[in-house]
Structure 1
Amino acid sequence: MLERTPEIGVDEFAAAWRQETPLIDVRSPDEYAEAHVPGAVNVPLADVLAAPQRFADQDLYVICRSGGRSATAADAVNAAGARAVSVAGGTAGWIDAGHEVKGSSQ
C-alpha cells in the first residue's frame, strides 16, 4: 500500500507556515500571475514531475488551485526524498478564507 502524502488545510497552513519553508505553487504561470499566496514560488507541475529529485531532502509545502495538482506534485517529490505537504483547498481555498494574495487580480 502506498503512503499518502500529508495534507494541511488552508487555515492550518496559514497558522503554521513560516516562509523559510518553501511554498511551491504548481499551477501554470498565468494562473500564478493572476493570484498567489505571498511568498509562493511558481514551479509548474510538469516541471516538478520532470525533475522531482531537485527537491530531495527539502521540507516544503505544495499548492495549486484546489489541491489535486499539489497532491500529485507532493507525491512525486516525496518519492524522490523530499518531505512535502500538500495544501488542501489550494489557492482558491486560501482566497475564499480571506487570506492575502499577490497578483494581477487584486
Structure 2
Amino acid sequence: MQMREVDVEQFAVERRPGMAVVDVRSSEEFAAGHVPGAVNVPLERVITDPGRYVGQELYVICQSGGRSAKAAEALAAAGARPVSVAGGTAGWISSGRPVDTDAR
C-alpha cells in the first residue's frame, strides 16, 4: 500500500471536521502547539502498533515532515490509508493558521 504526502496548503484544503489527524511528535512538542483537533500519538507508539489504524484514513503530522513520513510508511504497510503532511506543524504555524496548546 502506498502512502500519500501533501503540503501544508493542501492539508488545509482537505481538512474537515472529524478528520483524523495524528501528531507523532513528543508530548512536550505537542503541548507547545499543534493543529487544532490533532491527537498526540508519539512516533514510537505508531511504529510499534500501526495495526490499530487498519482501514482508517488519517493525516499524520510532525514538526517538519520527517517523522510523519516514517509513521505513514508503517501505517500504509499495516493497511491504513495515511497522508503525511510535508512541512508539518512548523509549516502550519508559519502560514499563520490557528494553533492549540492543550495537551490532549
User: TM-score of the superposition, structure 2-length normalised?
Assistant: 0.94
Aligned to 2:52: 54
Kindly report the root-mean-square deviation, in angstroms, between the aligned alpha carbons of the 2 structures: 1.2
User: Unaligned 5+ residue runs, structure 1?
Assistant: none
| Deviant stretches of 4+, over 4 Å | none
Aligned to 1:89: 87
User: Unaligned 5+ residue runs, structure 2?
Assistant: none
1:41-80 alignment, distance < 5 Å:
41-80=39-78
1:16-55 alignment, distance < 5 Å:
16-55=14-53
Aligned to 1:9: 7
User: TM-score of the superposition, structure 1-length normalised?
Assistant: 0.92
Q: Secondary structure at the match of 1:99?
A: coil
- Asked if the contact 2:50/2:78 (under 8 Å) is kept, the reply is yes
Moved more, 47-56 or 8-17: 8-17
